[in-house]
């Protein structure tokens, strides 16, 4: 089709609707970077579908000039499943938050990841409920004081990366709202992955949970506070003058101080591998949290497994090849029938 | 055939009863199949516990299958059986109260041990007393069955499991039924010793009937004089599954069925899943909510989407259904109603979800609601639901019930080429496209599916601006959009055929029914008319909107009676909508109406009672 051969730019992916996020919200940066990545993916614009649930992040589809469906709280993965099954050619992107995806929608997130449909899940994690004005979320830290937890939260949080790994995710990554190059790189990797791609995007909520991720957002601090995962490279972080590495023994990570010029591999630092047979290594990475460890960002795990909608379509093709196209009259007349004479 | 005398009878109702592991449903179904092939009209009523294997020999574990067959047109499985076949004391105890006075009781006497009697709660052997009140036939079924199989290399357990087919063979002889369809079925299902054993006891049972002195006569029920044509026997759930496939063929678009297993709707998911070669995709979701959401997603992407469920699942779907209403997407939701509230009696019937279907969502959220009248009618009802859904771009609810789901009737097989065919039309032209512009006649918005160039648009649950569909909180706009959604559903009434009154056009008493009570209500009204009583009846297939002539019919009658298997939900609607003093006849026993129950109320109303 003629339209699709025209080279599109990020502006072609911006809808005409006014954006209604709070000033300074991390969602702006994520939106811009998603719009910047879209033209390069080789997908006709009409084949993109953005699906969301309820919450601040879930307004996302209204701002994309693609097909979009703003659905109900927590259920976006289920809607996306129906869309992808009905038309596997579509490029389906789910936008959800920590409340939408991991609280009310935890069940659907689990099962959609487990089925490995070929779609992308962007979970904006700001560790707070924004649209309902500031209650704690399932990723909030213990002790967090909010309107609904005036004495501090006593809920133990769930870690989105560990949740996705536990659900059998074939692609799991983490990135940061304001790190544009990294965010774009992860979005491209996620699109290229055939199967469910789960991305946790650490996102600042300037109104209800400001600076929650300042250590990984701030350029100066993140050198020490974050660990960029690169396939085949050792797990090292910190400035040249003060390099450290992550060693993993019996599944237990520890920080190794590296002396100037020391080979991290010789020092026992683990080499990042996205494709381990089991997710045990990725789980160990997921357990790295502040303040004792840097926060890993990048691809935790990327393995190949056939996707649900492909296998579903294959069953239809196979059935038609073996039984022939369905004949309704023959179906209605199958098994025992009889004629009543006039 | 038999040299014993035969007796011609017009109709008979037989109830097979035993433990839920005794194979009563299978026995009933095979007897039904043979009866259908013999050319009788028939109606069946399976009745089984929700537990897969309730404790053997207890009242809780009793499973039953009733078949009513006739040389005349019949509409119900009969109020009371004429013949009761009981495989053990518990089955006898649970069912003997229903047997028609003077009816026949056939028992497996071998099962009437002291222990089994105690398990069933009998303090003494009930058989001596029954001999005076009924025609008691005591068959040593266990022994005869073992005798027939003694030289086969089967375990005692496998041997005893065949005894239902011994009894089936015996009943085939007693009512002159052919064994061929059962033999064909056995050959397709089993092989080796198990096949041999079942075939052998089937024939042994037949031969036993022929030779035993326990049965002095056999019975002939002549063929029924019914509309000529090509027939099959069908249950409501099978008809519904085939209707879903039929819709795909008629509307020329693939079906996507999403469901979560739930009694008594699961069989529809199972059945449709067998027909991938019709392009059908089925999806067993993680829960009821996900099933509804996936179906709506598939609809957005252009599939003919459907969910099948029962009451407790239907409740969970309501929020998503509300989204389909405001997003104006076509999707069909089938609710096979069961007795509630809550988990209730999962295998028993009820019509308790009417008000839920009509108004179970937040705010004013209109959806068309259709209800099937008979097992075979489930086929046509679901096809009509799809046609309405795509024409009006709306979710549509189809109400079936547990009775329709599992009962069966002879079904005139439709000529597919005669069914209405109408390919689905998607919007493809970008010229002037607006997601919520409306067809001036139907008020439907265009179905513009992802993958179509230059129709990119966003939909969702937030209030929408008229025409553009953009998010809009303007008060007047919200009023207009509510009015439009309401008006769109109301306009469906123009598509509906006018209601036909059975019996006099006006007069003393009108019966109004909907759904699976059609057979019992129609039979009661026909009975009354044949006794010369001024009784008419109408049946509502469309519960929202109502057919446009309903109001004018109601006012032509002095009294209106609405029998329902709920506490009077339609009655409440009719009273509110038409200001008619309709009486409700309510039943909440998990069982269908008996014709006599409705007839008794007809008589009392006509006698001046209120």
Cβ <8 Å between B320 and A15? no
Cβ <8 Å between A78 and B415? no
Measure CB to CB from residue B320 to each of A1, A67, A75 and give the nearest one. A75
Same domain, A156 and A304: yes
Same domain, A159 and A60: yes
Cβ <8 Å between B300 and A69? yes
Same domain, A291 and A192: yes
Q: Which residues have CB under 8 Å from B547's CB, separation 6+?
A: B493, B496, B497, B498, B499, B540
Compute the half-sphere exposure of residue B258: CA atoms within 13 Å on the CB side of its CA: 31
- All CATH 3.40.50.920 domain ranges of chain B, comma separated, are 507-606
List the structure tokens of B541: 């297939």
> Distance (Å, rounded) from C-alpha B206 to C-alpha A319?
41
Within 8 A of B258 by CB-CB distance, chain A residues are: 82
Tell me the pLDDT band of B3, cut-offs 50, 70 and 90.
confident
Element spanning B293, H or E: helix B288-300
Tell me the pLDDT band of A91, cut-offs 50, 70 and 90.
very high
Within 8 A of A72 by CB-CB distance, chain B residues are: 293, 319-320, 323, 461
Q: In this model, does residue A4 exceed pLDDT 60?
A: no
- How do beta strands A295-302 and B104-108 pair? unpaired
Q: In this model, does residue B2 exceed pLDDT 60?
A: no
List the structure tokens of A122: 């962007």
What is the mean pLDDT of the segment spanning B578-600? 98
Same domain, A51 and A137: yes
Handedness of CA A98, A101, A103, A104 (dihedral sign): positive
Within 8 A of A90 by CB-CB distance, chain B residues are: 301, 450-451
- What's the confidence (pLDDT) of residue B348? 96
Q: In this model, does residue A1 exceed pLDDT 50?
A: no
The distance of B39 to chain A (nearest Cα, Å) reads 7
Closest CA to A97 of A127, A140, A118: A127
List the structure tokens of B550: 């309903």
Q: In this model, does residue B53 exceed pLDDT 90?
A: no
On whether residue A205 sits in a domain, the answer given is: yes
Question: Tens of pLDDT along A264-315?
Answer: 999 999 999 999 999 999 999 999 999 999 999 999 999 999 999 999 999 9
The distance of B375 to chain A (nearest Cα, Å) reads 14
- What's the confidence (pLDDT) of residue B400? 98
Same domain, A167 and A103: yes
Tell me the pLDDT band of B262, cut-offs 50, 70 and 90.
very high
Class for domain B6-220, per CATH?
Answer: alpha beta
> Distance (Å, rounded) from C-alpha A169 to C-alpha A165?
5
The distance of A162 to chain B (nearest Cα, Å) reads 21
Q: What is the 3-state secondary structure (H, E, C) of B151-162?
A: CCCCCHHHHHCC
Tell me: ipTM over 0.90.
Answer: yes
Last residue of a domain, one of A243, A271, A299: A271
On whether residue A336 sits in a domain, the answer given is: no
What is the mean pLDDT of the segment spanning B236-247? 98
Q: Which residue bears the tokens 């909508």?
A: B577
Q: Which B positions 398-437 lie with beta carbon below 8 A of chain A?
A: 413-417
Q: In this model, does residue A2 exceed pLDDT 80?
A: no
- What's the confidence (pLDDT) of residue B113? 96
> Distance (Å, rounded) from C-alpha A195 to C-alpha A119?
6
On whether residue A11 sits in a domain, the answer given is: yes
Cβ <8 Å between A336 and B450? no
What is the mean pLDDT of the segment spanning A129-156? 96
Tell me the pLDDT band of B109, cut-offs 50, 70 and 90.
very high
Same domain, A134 and A174: yes
Same domain, A251 and A182: no
Measure CB to CB from residue B285 to each of A78, A322, A336 and give the nearest one. A78
Q: Which residue bears the tokens 């002159």?
A: B176
Instruction: Describe the strand order of the beta sheet including A171-176 as a list of residue ranges.
Output: A226-228, A295-302, A171-176, A197-202, A120-125, A91-97, A48-52, A67-70, B458-460
Within 8 A of B461 by CB-CB distance, chain A residues are: 54, 70-72
> Distance (Å, rounded) from C-alpha A39 to C-alpha A7?
8
For residue A104, the 8-state DSSP code is I
Same domain, A138 and A175: yes
Q: Which residues have CB under 8 Å from B270's CB, separation 6+?
A: none
Query: Residue length, chain B?
Result: 610
Same domain, A114 and A59: yes
List the structure tokens of B255: 């079906």
Tell me the pLDDT band of B359, cut-offs 50, 70 and 90.
very high
Which region, left, alpha or beta, applies to residue B608 given φ > 0 means left and ψ of -120 to 50 means alpha? Answer: left
Measure CB to CB from residue B458 to each of A44, A62, A337 and give the nearest one. A62
CATH architecture of B507-606: 3-Layer(aba) Sandwich (3.40)
Q: Which B positions 437-496 lie with beta carbon below 8 A of chain A?
A: 449-462, 470-471
Element spanning A53, H or E: none
> Distance (Å, rounded) from C-alpha A134 to C-alpha B536?
63
B129-153 exposure pattern, b = at least 16 Cβ within 10 A, e = fewer: ebeeebebbbbebbebbbebbeeee
Q: CATH for B233-418?
A: 3.40.50.970
Same domain, A65 and A170: yes
> Distance (Å, rounded) from C-alpha B303 to C-alpha A183?
34
- Does A291 sit behind a cis peptide bond, omega within 30 degrees of 0 on the bond before it? yes
Q: Which B positions 121-180 lie with beta carbon below 8 A of chain A?
A: none
Tell me the pLDDT band of A5, cut-offs 50, 70 and 90.
low
Tell me the pLDDT band of A6, cut-offs 50, 70 and 90.
low
Domain of residue A243, residue span:
234-271
- How do beta strands B11-19 and B62-70 pair? antiparallel
Alpha-carbon separation of residue B370 from A134, A190, B110, B291, B426 (angstroms): 44, 45, 49, 21, 25
The distance of B38 to chain A (nearest Cα, Å) reads 9
- What's the confidence (pLDDT) of residue B21? 87
- What's the confidence (pLDDT) of residue B610? 85
List the structure tokens of B60: 């809780």
Question: Tens of pLDDT along A257-268?
Answer: 999 889 999 999
What does the DSSP assignment read for A241-272? GG-EEEEEETTEEEEEEPPTT--TTTTTPPBP
> Distance (Å, rounded) from C-alpha B196 to C-alpha B204?
12
Same domain, A227 and A238: no
What is the mean pLDDT of the segment spanning A159-178? 98
Cβ <8 Å between B450 and A47? yes
> Nearest chain A Cα to B250, which residue?
A328
Element spanning A198, H or E: strand A197-202
Within 8 A of A81 by CB-CB distance, chain B residues are: 283, 285, 290, 293-294, 297
On whether residue A78 sits in a domain, the answer given is: yes
- All CATH 3.40.920.10 domain ranges of chain B, comma separated, are 6-220
Angle, vertex CA A329, rays to CA A327 and CA A330, nearest 5: 65
Handedness of CA B501, B502, B505, B508 (dihedral sign): negative
Measure CB to CB from residue A69 to each of B289, B417, B459 and give the nearest one. B459
Element spanning B49, H or E: none
Tell me the pLDDT band of B265, cut-offs 50, 70 and 90.
very high
Mean pLDDT of chain B: 96
Cβ <8 Å between A332 and B414? yes
Number of domains composing chain A? 2
Q: Which B positions 205-244 lie with beta carbon below 8 A of chain A?
A: 223, 226-233, 242
The distance of A51 to chain B (nearest Cα, Å) reads 9
Same domain, A141 and A257: no
Q: In this model, does residue B267 exceed pLDDT 70?
A: yes
Last residue of a domain, one of A212, A247, A271: A271
Cβ <8 Å between A90 and B301? yes
Cα A265 versus chain centre, distance: 30
Task: Estimate the share of chain A in helix, then strand, then coil, as percent rounded to the nearest 5.
Answer: 35, 20, 45
Q: In this model, does residue B55 exceed pLDDT 90?
A: no
Q: Which residue bears the tokens 């042994």?
A: B204
Tell me the pLDDT band of B56, cut-offs 50, 70 and 90.
confident
Cα B60 versus chain centre, distance: 23
> Distance (Å, rounded) from C-alpha B411 to C-alpha B418?
16
Are A163 and A86 spatial neighbours (Cβ–Cβ below 8 Å)?
Answer: no
Helices (H), A104-255: 106-115, 160-166, 180-192, 214-217, 219-225
Q: Is B328 on the interface with A (CB under 8 A)?
A: no
Q: Which residue bears the tokens 């229903």?
A: B98
Task: Estimate the share of chain B in helix, then strand, then coil, as percent rounded to the nearest 5.
Answer: 40, 20, 40
């Amino acid at each position: 089709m003629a339209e699709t051969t025209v080279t599109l730019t990020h502006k072609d992916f911006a809808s005409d609707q006014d954006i209604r996020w709070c000033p300074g919200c991390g969602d702006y940066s994520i939106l811009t970077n998603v719009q910047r990545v879209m033209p390069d993916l080789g997908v006709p614009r009409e084949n993109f579908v953005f699906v969301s649930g309820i919450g601040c992040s879930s307004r996302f589809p209204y701002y994309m000039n693609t097909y979009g469906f703003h659905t109900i709280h927590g259920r976006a993965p289920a809607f996306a499943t129906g869309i992808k099954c009905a038309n596997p050619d579509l490029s389906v992107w789910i936008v959800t938050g920590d409340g939408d995806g991991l609280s009310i929608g935890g069940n659907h997130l689990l099962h959609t990841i487990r089925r490995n449909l070929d779609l992308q899940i962007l979970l904006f994690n700001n560790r707070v409920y924004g649209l309902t004005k500031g209650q704690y979320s399932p990723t909030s830290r213990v002790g967090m004081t909010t309107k609904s937890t005036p004495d501090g939260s006593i809920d133990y949080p769930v870690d989105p990366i560990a949740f996705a790994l536990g659900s059998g995710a074939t692609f799991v990554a983490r990135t940061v709202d304001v790190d544009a190059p990294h965010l774009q790189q992860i979005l491209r990797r996620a699109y290229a992955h055939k199967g469910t791609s789960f991305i946790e995007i650490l996102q600042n909520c300037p109104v209800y949970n400001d600076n929650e991720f300042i250590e990984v957002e701030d350029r100066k601090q993140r050198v020490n506070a974050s660990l960029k995962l690169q396939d085949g490279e050792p797990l090292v972080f910190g400035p040249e003058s003060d390099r450290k590495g992550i060693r993993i023994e019996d599944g237990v990570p520890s920080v190794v101080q590296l002396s100037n010029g020391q080979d991290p591999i010789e020092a026992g630092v683990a080499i990042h591998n996205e494709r381990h047979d089991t997710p045990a290594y990725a789980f160990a990475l997921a357990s790295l949290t502040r303040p004792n460890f840097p926060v890993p960002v990048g691809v935790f795990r990327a393995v190949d497994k056939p996707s649900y909608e492909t296998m579903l379509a294959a069953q239809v093709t196979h059935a038609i090849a073996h039984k022939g196209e369905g004949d309704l009259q023959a179906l209605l007349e199958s098994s025992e029938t009889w004629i009543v004479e006039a | 055939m038999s040299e014993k005398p035969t007796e011609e009878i017009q109709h008979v109702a037989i109830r097979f009863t035993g433990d839920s592991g005794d194979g009563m449903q299978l026995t009933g179904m095979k007897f039904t199949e043979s009866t259908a092939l013999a050319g009788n009209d028939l109606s069946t009523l399976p009745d089984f516990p929700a537990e897969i294997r309730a404790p053997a020999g207890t009242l809780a574990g009793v499973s039953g299958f009733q078949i009513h067959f006739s040389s005349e047109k019949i509409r119900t499985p009969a109020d009371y059986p004429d013949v009761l076949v009981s495989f053990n004391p518990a089955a006898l105890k649970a069912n003997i109260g229903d047997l028609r006075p003077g009816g026949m009781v056939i028992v497996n006497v071998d099962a009437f041990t002291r222990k089994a009697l105690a398990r069933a709660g009998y303090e003494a052997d009930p058989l001596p007393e029954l001999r005076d009140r009924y025609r008691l036939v005591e068959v040593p079924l266990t022994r005869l069955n073992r005798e027939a199989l003694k030289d086969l290399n089967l375990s005692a357990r496998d041997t005893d499991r065949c005894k239902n087919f011994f009894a089936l063979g015996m009943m085939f002889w007693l009512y002159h039924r052919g064994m061929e369809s059962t033999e064909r079925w056995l050959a397709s299902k089993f092989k080796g010793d198990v096949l041999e054993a079942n075939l052998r006891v089937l024939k042994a049972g037949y031969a036993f009937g022929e030779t035993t002195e326990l049965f002095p006569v056999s019975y002939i029920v002549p063929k029924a004089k019914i509309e000529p044509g090509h027939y099959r026997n069908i249950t409501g759930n099978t008809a519904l599954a085939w209707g879903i496939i039929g819709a795909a063929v008629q509307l020329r678009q693939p079906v996507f069925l999403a469901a979560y297993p739930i009694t008594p709707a699961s069989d529809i998911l199972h059945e449709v899943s067998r027909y991938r070669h019709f392009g059908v995709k089925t999806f067993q979701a993680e829960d009821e909510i996900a099933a509804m959401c996936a179906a709506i997603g598939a609809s957005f992407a252009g599939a003919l989407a459907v969910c099948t469920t029962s009451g407790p699942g239907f409740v969970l779907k309501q929020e998503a259904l509300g989204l389909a209403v405001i997003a104006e997407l076509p999707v069909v939701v089938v609710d096979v109603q069961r007795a509630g509230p809550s988990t209730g009696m999962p295998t028993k019937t009820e019509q308790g979800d009417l008000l839920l279907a009509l108004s179970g969502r937040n705010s004013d959220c209109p959806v068309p609601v259709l209800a099937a009248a008979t097992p075979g009618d489930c086929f046509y009802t679901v096809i009509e639901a799809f046609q309405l859904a795509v024409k009006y771009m709306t979710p549509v609810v189809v109400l079936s019930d547990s009775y329709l789901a599992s009962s069966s009737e002879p079904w005139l097989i439709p000529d597919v080429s005669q069914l209405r065919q109408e390919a689905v039309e998607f919007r493809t032209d970008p010229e002037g496209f607006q997601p919520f512009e409306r067809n001036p006649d139907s008020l439907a918005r265009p179905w513009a599916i992802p993958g179509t160039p230059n129709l990119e648009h966003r939909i969702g649950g937030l209030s929408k601006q008229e025409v553009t569909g953009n998010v809009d909180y303007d008060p007047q706009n919200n009023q207009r959009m509510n009015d439009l959604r309401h008006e769109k559903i109301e306009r469906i009434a123009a598509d509906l055929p006018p209601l036909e009154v059975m019996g006099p056009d006006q007069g003393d008493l009108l019966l109004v029914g909907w759904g699976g009570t059609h057979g019992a209500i129609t039979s009661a009204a026909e009975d009354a008319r044949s006794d010369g009583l001024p009784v008419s009846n109408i049946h509502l297939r469309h519960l929202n909107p109502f057919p446009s002539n309903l109001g004018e019919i109601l006012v032509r009658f002095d009294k209106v009676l609405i029998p329902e298997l709920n506490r009077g939900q339609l009655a409440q609607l009719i009273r509110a909508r038409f200001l008619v003093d309709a009486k409700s006849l309510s039943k909440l026993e998990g069982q269908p109406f008996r014709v006599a129950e409705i007839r008794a109320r007809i008589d009392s109303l006509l006698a001046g009672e209120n």
